[in-house]
Structure 1
Amino acid sequence: MKIAVWSGPRNLSTAMMYAFGNRADVTAWDEPFYASYLHATGIIHPMNDAILAAQPTDAMQVIADLAQTAETPHSYFKLMTHHMLPDVPLEWAKDCINVHLIRHPARVIASYGAKRSEITSNDIGFQRQAELYDHLGGVVIDSFDVRANPQGVLERLCAAIGLPFDPAMLRWPAGARPYDGVWADHWYGAVHKSTGFAGGEGELPVLDGRDAALRDAALPHYEKLAKLKL
């Protein structure tokens, strides 16, 4: 089984990858289209040169790599929605179980802004996620629900995609993983200290100015998918 998990950044996506990657029957892939996205767009991200050197910059080569059979029965692809540019074919994803991980835009923007001062609507990927759902369908889960009830949500998710639940998904050793992307040193500080999902989230962050405008633009896309969540 190939499981394609789509999200924007700062969406609990790395913790979810660690949960699945902690299973003995899963091989995890960390944002395989990152370098091809940077190469195609010319956008500069933290650790830009290291990312371009660490991964294929041709999206078609990435697709070919994802099609290869892993040593384990299942593969888990952690995928950023904005990395999937409109001219990249999606036929490969139709052979996957597609899961859409969502998070309220206010939380995403507040978290992303702590790591990178420049933020655009494209960076947080809500519109692209809605487009990908329209094209691929799949299962929707909300990171708020995962943090509030990890076992319950993961059990429902596993049932929905036809994968037996494994308690190993709830706890993992602290520290980096061999499948982490080279960018982990910049982005994964908190999750490297974790041994499981953090507790429930509090009130929504209060945003103003540019960040409030970004939230308002993203909300319709988030709310569309939130109505479909498990």
Structure 2
Amino acid sequence: MDNMSESGISRSMRVMLWTSHRCLSTVFTRSMGQIPGMEIWFEPYGYAYNAMLNVQLNDGIDLPTSYEGNEAIYIKASQYIGRMMSRTFQPEGLSYEKLKKMLESSTAEMVFVKDIGLAMQRDDLRELIPKGYRHSFLIRHPLLMFSSLRKANYQHLKGNNILHEGETCEAEFDMRRHIEMNNPFDYYRSLYDLWKYIKETIDPEPVILDASDLQRNPSAVLPLYCKAVGLPFTNNMLGWENAPLDDIQSWNTTCNINVQTGFFEGVLSTTRFSPPKDLPSRDELTPDVIELADEALPFYEEMYKNRLH
């Protein structure tokens, strides 16, 4: 499929960005979409992992990675995640094996896949990472990430009437109780573990970007990133027309993306990278954000030391 270098890394322009939620990854994806001819994939494995998680929570069984012969349970999986995410999912598109085949068989000259590191926690799932791609990572300080995630998750769960008993307002909301949205304790550890795995077995030089670096100086960081992963840089990546629905609806996904959720708040009106936020004071944060950020900080800090800057 691809011309491979001696290291086994594809010379073609195919890139995977592994990240966590609320790390500016959707804005970054919109920027990558300004490259002419770019094919975008939006969190294919992330959705597949969430379907797998919800089958386990609801039925107590493991969702097989193969769709063939398991169609009935995949229909249930699509219904579980569909209700939780307020979207309609294609059952077949929740199969890790199907996703690997689709990403490897793309005929586009350039492919950019934005996905969630949490989706590749297990060794058997990591074996289904598509071949022929360069790998990169986007990180963000845990205090910024979790404070943003808490707000988005609360708005989404409230809108879907799936808050827990006693969560009558945002002050009573606790992310640690909502593992149906993925276990928040796993986000940074899983991203760190995936970085180590990819570095040791797939791509010896995966690129790491920090979201605040990107926001602070996109005109310097974006060209460095493109050069490192083998993509062409264009000035249009620094600012784009405000047509988010057109952008997002052109992306390859396994569902219809509902932009009327807290997850897309801010992205709809964004036409460039905004300046980075200051770290919030711990006195202003809730106990769930503080505990999750403290747990995540060592993983973030080691990746931060190895970032592109």
Question: TM-score normalised to the size of structure 2?
Answer: 0.68
Question: Measured at CA, do residues 68 and 163 of structure 1 come closer, stay the same or move farther in structure 2, by a change above 3 Å?
Answer: same
- State the Cα distance separating 1:213 from its structure 2 match: 0.8
| Cα deviation 1:172-193 (Å, max 9, x = unaligned) | 2222222355143311131110
2:93 to 27, 50, 56: 56
Q: What secondary structure, in the 3-state scheme, does the structure 1 residue paired with 2:129 have?
A: helix
Quote the sequence identity (%). 24
Aligned residues: 229
- Mapping 1:106-117, distance limit 5 Å: 106-117=143-154
Question: CA 1:183 to 1:217, structure 2 compared with 1: closer, same or farther past 3 Å?
Answer: farther
Map Cα deviations across residues 11-55 of structure 1 (whole Å, 9 max, x no partner).
010011000111113111111123321221116767436253477
Give runs of aligned pairs for residues 25-36 of structure 1, distance below 5 A: 25-36=37-48
CA RMSD, aligned part only?
A: 2.2
Residues 78-102 of structure 1: CA distance to partner in whole angstroms, max 9, x if unpaired?
0011123413134534531111100
Does the 8 Å CA contact 1:35/1:51 hold for their aligned counterparts? no
- How has the CA–CA distance of structure 1 residues 221 and 2 changed in structure 2, closer, same or farther, with 3 Å as cutoff? same
Deviates more, 1:170-179 or 1:132-141: 170-179
Q: TM-score, normalised by structure 1?
A: 0.90
Task: Look at both structures and tell me which one has the larger radius of gyration over its CA atoms.
Answer: 2
Gap regions ≥5 residues in structure 2: 1-12, 58-79, 155-173, 177-181, 200-205
Matched with 1:212 is: 290
CA contact (8 A) 2:97 2:128 kept: no
Show CA shifts across 1:178-223 (max 9, x none). Answer: 2355143311131110111112322335334222111110000000
Instruction: Give the corresponding residue for 1:40.
Output: 52
Aligned match of 1:160 in 217, 225, 228?
A: 228
Pairing 1:75–2:111 present? yes
Distance 2:281 2:148 in 1: 10
| In structure 1, C-alpha distance between the alignment counterparts of 2:277 and 2:130, rounded to whole Å | 31
| Partners of 1:91 and 1:36 in 2: CA distance | 12
Distance 2:219 2:88 in 1: 33
For structure 1, the 5+ residue unaligned runs are none
Q: Distance in 1 between matches of 2:150 and 2:235?
A: 33
Residue of 217, 224, 228 corresponding to 1:149: 217
- Residue 130 (structure 1) shift: 0.5
CA contact (8 A) 2:189 2:296 kept: yes
CA 1:33 to 1:226, structure 2 compared with 1: closer, same or farther past 3 Å? same
- Residues 20 and 116 of structure 2 are in contact (CA less than 8 Å); yes or no, is this contact kept in structure 1? yes
Structure 2 Cα separation of the partners of residues 144 and 205 of structure 1: 17
Give the residue type in structure 2 aligned to 1:131. D
The AA in structure 1 aligned to 2:267 is V
8 Å Cα contact 2:46-2:118 kept in structure 1: no
Give the whole-Å Cα distance in 1 for the aligned partners of 2:135 and 2:280: 28
